[in-house]
Amino acid sequence: MASVIAADNPGAAVLLMGNEAVARGAIEAGIGVASAYPGSPTSEILPAIADVSGERDIYVEWSTNEKVALEVAAASSFAGIRSLAVMKQNGLNVALDFLVNLNMTGIGEGGMVVFVSDDPGAMTSGNEQDSRMAAKWFDNPLLEPENAHEAKEMVAWAFEFSESVNLPVIVRGVTRLCYTRGNVVLGDLPAGMRKKARFSDVWDMYNPTKSKFTATPSPVAHRLLHEKFEKAREILENAPFNRYSGPDNPELLIIATGVSAAYSAEAVDVLHLKERVGLLKMGALWPLPKKTILQWLSRTKNVLFVEEMDAFMEGSVMELWAGAGLHDGGIRFHGKCSGHFPPCNEQGADLVIKALTDILKIEHQLIDADYKREAAEYMRLVPNRPINMCAGCPHRATYWAIKNAIALDGRNGFVCGDIGCYAMGFGPPGFFQARTMHAMGSGTGVANGFGHLGRFGFDQPVIALSGDSTFYHAALPALVNAVYNRSNFTLLILDNGATAMTGFQPHPGTGVLATGEPAPVVDMEALCRATGAEVMVCDPFNLTETTQAILTMMKKNAGVRVIIMRHLCQLVKVKRKIAPRYSMRVEPEKCIGESCGCDRLCTRVFGCPGLMWDSRAGKAMIDEAICVGCGLCADVCPAGAIRKEEVH
Amino acid sequence: MRSLTKEPFNLIVAGVGGQGNVLLSAFVGLALVNEGFTVTVADTFGVSQRGGSVTSHIKISKKASYSSVTLEGKADVVLGMEPVETLRALGEFGNPQVVVIVNPRPVHPAGGIPYPDLDLVKQAISGLSARASFINATDEALKMGDPLFANIILLGALMGADVLPLESGAMLPILQERFSGAMYDKNIEAFNRGIDLCRNP
C-alpha cells in the first residue's frame, strides 16, 4: 500500500488513511524535509513519507522530541525548502516554546506546515486537549480538514498559504480524521529539479523577515506578525475550505469544523432537514474569516455550533457577533453554551441528531425500542475488557519484579510512571505500581523532587520509570538534573528496543534511521554512566536476579541509580520472526486453582492474556492462540503447575 | 458496480486488539474503492490495540463520503472476530435486520474477569440478529499452523456470505498485492476455507 503515497497517477481515486493523505498532500506540495516524534494518532505520517523518501528526494527523520523536530523542519524553510513537522497534541506542548518564536520571525521562502492531531476521547493519549486554542493565543494560522481527501488538499494548499504570509501554518487533525481511511483523489506530483537550499547571507533592509530569523526587537516583530495576520485573514475569507450548503435564509445555521462538519451533514441528511437547516462547514479557522461568518449570521436567528472539545468557534463567533454590534438582531446560540454538546470526549452524528431534534422540536425514532430493550438485557452478559500488556511483554516482567522488590524492601516505596505502553502500570497490567503519570520524562522529573524531601521526614524509596524512546525524548535532562542536584532515587529504563506504543519506530538507541538505513547507536548505558549515576543492566525475564537488583538499588538510599531493563518488545520479536523460546502447559493435577494458597495468582493478579481461567474445571489454562512462550508464568506459579519446555 | 441495498451500507468489524481487524477492514475498503464505491473505514488504533475492545466502522456509499462512525442501531452487517465483542457491538449498533458472521472462539479478558457462558453469548448473538453464522476461524487457523490466519478466514466467510456489494474474486488482487510466495498461498487457502465454511457449514 505504501507505493500509493507516491503514485504518479493524477485523478485516480485511492483508499488512504487520513495520516497517509496528509503525507500525500505534503509530497504533492514538494516538501524537502519531514520530521516528527512518534505520537498516535499521527504516527503513520512520517513512515508513509519515509517509504518514498528515496524516490521523492525527501529528508525524513524521527527526531528525539517534537521541539527538535520543529527546529529541524524550520531550518529547511529558512533555506527555502518546504518542510513538514508532525506531532500529537502533547508534542505541540513540547514544541511550543520554539513555535511561539517562529511565528514572530517568519519561516522564510520555504512554506512550512505543522500537522498537529488532537485526540477527542483520549483514544490514544493520556489527555484531551484542544490545540486550536494555542493557535488563538499565540497568533498562528490554523486549518482543519473534514476527511482524508480534504486533508490532502488542505496540506498541499497550506504550503502556498504559508509562503504568501511568511508564517508556519498549523493543520489540525483529530483521531477520527487520522485513523479513518477514505477515498482520496490523487493530484499531480511535482516535476523537475528541486531548487537549491540557501540561507540568505544578504541583509535585506526592505525585507528583513526573509534574511533574519530572530524575534527581536520583539515589539516590532509582534506588530509585523499582526500585520501578516490581517493578510492571512483576507486569504482565508476566500479559502476553498469554508463552504455553505442549505437554504438562503436557514431557520437554523450550523457552524461546524473539521470532522464535526461530516457529523452535521449526516444528521441533517438523516432528519431530512436540508430545506430548513444550513451548514457552514469551516476548514479555514484562524485568523477568523470575519466577513464570511458575519454574512451568514445576518441570515438566521438560530445558530448551532458543532465542534469537538473546546468552544473554539463558538466563543470566537460570539465574540465577533458582540463586537460587531449585531446583538440587536437577536440570534439564539446553541452548542456547548446551551448544553447540547459536552466540552470533552468524542462526538458524532448521533449527538448532532439529538441536538437538532431538541432545538427544532422534531420527533425522531432512531432505534426499535423493543430491540433496544432486549439488547440491554443481553448486555448484562458482556464483561469489561480492560487494556493489557501483550503476552510476552517485558514490561509485565519488570513490574512483577518491582512489585516484589517494593514488598521485600518494606518501606512503602512507589513508582513514578511515564508515557508509553508501561503507562498501563497504574492499573492491573502493572499491578497498580505506577502512582504518578503526566508527561514524557515526568517520571524522572517528579522523582527528582521526591528525592529531596528527606529533610522533611520523607522516608519512602522512589523508583522512576522511563521507556527507551522516552529516555532520549525528555528523561535525559531530568537524569542530569538528578545527579547534579544530588537527588535520591532509582531510575529503571525499560529498553525494549522500540517506540512500541506508537508502532515500533526506531530511536537513537536502536541503530536504525526512519528510512530503515543504519545509524550510529547513541549508547544509553554510556550516556547514563557519563552523568555520574551508578548503572547496571538486567534482563527482566531473569525475575529473581532483576528483583534482587531493584531491591539492592532501592536500599542504597543515596544518589541516582539506574537499571536498564533490556528485553526486546514481543511484537518486535514477532515482526522479526523470532521464534517462541518455550512451549507452555499447565499440569492439571498440580493446579488446584482456588484451593491453592495463591487463589489462582496467574489469572487473578499476573494477568498475562495468554492465561485463561477454566471456571468449569477450576484450573488455569494456556490460550494457545495467544501464548508466545516467554516462560514467565512458570516462574510466577507458586505450585509449579505451569511448565515450560525449551523449544528446539 | 453492484447495487447497494441501503445508503450508506454499514459494516462493523468487532474484535479484540491484536486480532487483525485493522488489516481485514483495510482489505474490504480497498476492494470496495476498486469497484468504484466511496467508503470510509474508521479503525481503533493506539492504546486500545493492546488487548482492548476494538471496532472498525466501514461505511459504503455510491455517492458521498459519510462521517466515520456508524449511527446507533444502524449496522447492516457485523463481522465478529470474538463472541463477546460481537455482542457488545450489537448492543450499540444492532437492529432486527442485522446479519452477523462471528468467530465463536473467546478471548478472555485480563485480570481474571470471568468470561460469560459461551452458549448464552451465542444465543444472545442469534437473538439480536436476523441471521448469525458461526465460523470456527481460530480453530481452522490453528489447524493451518498460525492463529493469525483467523482474520483471513473470516474475510473469506464475509465474502462467502455475499452480503457486501462485492464478488469474492474482488478480494484476490488485494491479497495478491499484500502477500507473496508461500504467504500468498497460505492466505488464499485461508480465504477459500472461510468462503467454504460460510457456504457449507
Does B2 reside within a domain?
Answer: no
Does B172 reside within a domain?
Answer: yes
Within a 10 A sphere around the Cβ of A210, how many other Cβ atoms? 17
CATH class for the domain made up of A394-575:
alpha beta
Q: Is B61 on the interface with A (CB under 8 A)?
A: no
Does B28 reside within a domain?
Answer: yes
In A271-366, alpha helices (H): 290-297, 312-323, 349-359
CB spacing of B128 vs A374 below 8 angstroms: yes
| The CATH number fitting domain A2-191+202-237, selected from 3.40.640.10, 3.10.200.10, 3.40.50.970, 3.30.70.1530 | 3.40.50.970
Residue of A nearest to B147 (CA): A625
CATH class for the domain made up of A582-646:
alpha beta
Query: A443 near A417, Cβ under 8 Å?
Result: yes
ipTM: 0.95
Enumerate the CATH 3.30.70.20 domain ranges in chain A, comma separated. 582-646
Enumerate the CATH 3.40.50.920 domain ranges in chain A, comma separated. 243-359
Does B1 reside within a domain?
Answer: no
Query: A313 near A336, Cβ under 8 Å?
Result: no
Residue of A nearest to B121 (CA): A381
Q: Is B90 on the interface with A (CB under 8 A)?
A: yes
CB spacing of A374 vs B147 below 8 angstroms: no
Enumerate the CATH 3.40.50.970 domain ranges in chain A, comma separated. 2-191+202-237, 394-575
Spatial separation of the C-alpha atoms in residues B47 and A40, rounded to whole Å: 9
The predicted-structure confidence for A83-134, as pLDDT tens digits, reads as follows 999 999 999 999 999 999 999 999 999 999 999 999 999 988 989 999 999 9
Nearest CB to B51; choose among A265, A366, A390: A390
Spatial separation of the C-alpha atoms in residues A24 and A309, rounded to whole Å: 28
CB spacing of A371 vs B87 below 8 angstroms: no
| The CATH number fitting domain A243-359, selected from 3.40.50.720, 1.10.730.10, 3.30.565.10, 3.40.50.920 | 3.40.50.920
The set of cell numbers assigned to A29 is 506540495
The set of cell numbers assigned to B180 is 507473496
Query: A451 near A488, Cβ under 8 Å?
Result: yes
CB spacing of A381 vs B120 below 8 angstroms: yes
For cell 489462582, name the residue. Answer: A600
Radius of gyration of chain B (CA): 16
Query: Which pTM does this prediction carry?
Result: 0.96
**Closest CA of chain B from A574, distance in Å:** 12
Q: Is B173 on the interface with A (CB under 8 A)?
A: no
**Closest CA of chain A from B194, distance in Å:** 18
pLDDT (0 to 100) of residue B46: 61
Which parts of chain A have pLDDT scores under 70?
Answer: 1-3, 205-210, 327-329
The set of cell numbers assigned to A605 is 493478579
Which domain does B87 fall in, by range? 9-199
Beta-ladder partners of A143: A171, A284
* CA A52 to each of CA A5, A56, A515: distance values in angstroms, whole numbers, following the listed order: 8, 6, 9
pLDDT (0 to 100) of residue A2: 46
Q: Respond yes or no on whether the N-terminal peptide bond of residue A638 is cis (omega within 30° of 0).
A: no
The set of cell numbers assigned to A255 is 457552524
Q: Apex CA B63: angle with CA B60 and CA B67, to 5°?
A: 55
Spatial separation of the C-alpha atoms in residues B29 and A647, rounded to whole Å: 40
Q: Which of A194, A170, A287, A201 is nearest to A239 (CA)?
A: A287
Domain count, chain B: 1
pLDDT (0 to 100) of residue A83: 98
The set of cell numbers assigned to A202 is 544578504
Does B66 reside within a domain?
Answer: yes
**Closest CA of chain A from B129, distance in Å:** 10
Does B125 reside within a domain?
Answer: yes
* CA A206 to each of CA A166, A209, A210, A638: distance values in angstroms, whole numbers, following the listed order: 15, 9, 9, 79
For cell 525475564, name the residue. Answer: A541
Does B113 reside within a domain?
Answer: yes
**Closest CA of chain A from B186, distance in Å:** 17
Which parts of chain B have pLDDT scores under 70?
Answer: 45-49
Spatial separation of the C-alpha atoms in residues A357 and A343, rounded to whole Å: 20
pLDDT (0 to 100) of residue B175: 96
